[in-house]
Amino acid sequence: TTKIIMDTDPGIDDAAALTMALNNPELDLKLITTVAGNVTVDKTTINALKIVHFFNKDVPVAAGAKLPLLKPFEDAARIHGESGMPGYDFGEDYGHAIDMSAVEALHKEIMAADEPITLVPTGSYTNIAILFSQYPEVKDNIKEIVAMGGTLGKGNMTSAAEFNCFTDPHAAKVLYDSGLPIVMVGLDITLKALLTADTLDKLEGLNRTGKMLHGLITHYSDGDENGHPMHDVNTIFYLLHPEFITTEDMWVDVQTEGPAMGETVGDIRGAYHDGKTNTKVCVDIDADAFNKWFLEEVSKIK
């Protein structure tokens, strides 16, 4: 099994990623930390708790950064709804976040792990940037960072920037400059592996998990008649099925100023950094395999 920590901003695709991570026996999810992103951190924390409670798991949830490091906060409620997780009634009984901040909980869990742990951020990287500056020793016990965010191609917020990197570009820079092994799970693949209308239809009748995800995804404004991008779920698919994803090693630099703010510049020509690389960038994915896996995974959840 792979020990992982998810740092997340649910968010509909985050909720689907948590669903997969909480229920797959090959993943050992030790901790969930939350960050402001799709909606405010108060809401992303409640949403993470709702998912954990829905599956009756006891994975701790710790609330994190309310605001990006330097940039003003802008949510994505127009995509994920005012609550961040519309379309399903989870009830009002969903427990509480632990009495420790995300950064403190990350520090404690990473240092306590008996083997290096994989970080899976699917929101902006504010908590992780603060963690690295406050507790740099955690880096010795992190195996890799499999991060949703970034793009080699066009952005989904600005011409250049993807949402998670745009939300906190300074934190994204800290992550890419960290010296740790990084897998960039960006729009280059997440916009290819669309969840099709056929997959969405089939989800509804599968079981209670399928019904829940169907409810959320039918309220998700990202996507069109071709399907919905399940951005964050691609991190979990990569961890479980790297054989369906093509990666390229390159150096990624993050821009923090001007019209390219939040852009992840992949040095595809090796023009900077003397041919050294800091990131495995996901560049291609088998979209049919993703859809098939998505349905199979959900059908296995009791």
- Residues lying near ligand BDR in the complex (CB under 6 A) are found at 11, 13-14, 38, 76, 79, 122, 148, 156, 162-164, 231-232
By C-beta, is 43 or 231 nearer to ligand BDR? 231
By C-beta, is 75 or 297 nearer to ligand BDR? 75
Q: Does 150 bind Ca ion (CB under 5 A)?
A: no
DSSP letters spanning 125-141: SHHHHHHHHH-GGGGGG
CB of 175 vs ligand BDR, minimal distance in Å: 14
Q: Is 231 a catalytic residue?
A: yes
The four Cα atoms 228, 229, 235, 241 give a dihedral, to 10 degrees, of: 70
Strand 142-148 and strand 252-254: pairing?
unpaired
Strand 142-148 and strand 117-121: pairing?
parallel
Pick one of Ca ion, ligand BDR, none as the site partner of residue 76 (Cβ within 5 to 8 A by kind): ligand BDR
Conformational region of residue 36, where left means phi above 0, alpha means psi within -120 to 50, and beta covers everything else: beta
By C-beta, is 109 or 162 nearer to ligand BDR? 162
Pick one of ligand BDR, Ca ion, none as the site partner of residue 64 (Cβ within 5 to 8 A by kind): none
CB of 149 vs Ca ion, minimal distance in Å: 8
Which one among 4, 6, 14, 151 touches Ca ion, defined by CB under 5 A? 14
Q: One of 96, 231, 241, 273 is an active-site residue; which one? A: 231
CB of 166 vs ligand BDR, minimal distance in Å: 8
DSSP state of 123: S
Q: Among candidates 231, 234, 237, 207, which has minimal Cα distance to 299?
A: 207
CB of 271 vs ligand BDR, minimal distance in Å: 27
Strand 117-121 and strand 264-266: pairing?
unpaired
Strand 142-148 and strand 182-185: pairing?
parallel
Pick one of ligand BDR, Ca ion, none as the site partner of residue 156 (Cβ within 5 to 8 A by kind): ligand BDR
CA separation for the pair 240, 162 (Å, rounded): 24
Residue 88 token pair: 């399903």
CA separation for the pair 198, 175 (Å, rounded): 37
Residue 144 token pair: 């890799």
Q: Does 124 bind Ca ion (CB under 5 A)?
A: no
Half-sphere exposure of 209 (CA within 13 A, CB side): 22
Pick one of ligand BDR, Ca ion, none as the site partner of residue 162 (Cβ within 5 to 8 A by kind): ligand BDR
By C-beta, is 37 or 251 nearer to Ca ion? 37
At 79, which amino acid appears?
I
- Contact string 207-246 vs Ca ion (x = CB under 5 A): -------------------------x--------------
Q: Total residues at the site for Ca ion (CB under 5 A)?
A: 6
CA separation for the pair 104, 266 (Å, rounded): 32
Beta-ladder partners of 250: 279
Pick one of ligand BDR, Ca ion, none as the site partner of residue 278 (Cβ within 5 to 8 A by kind): none
Residues of this chain that interact with Ca ion (CB under 5 A) are 9, 11, 14, 122-123, 232
What are the catalytic residues? 231
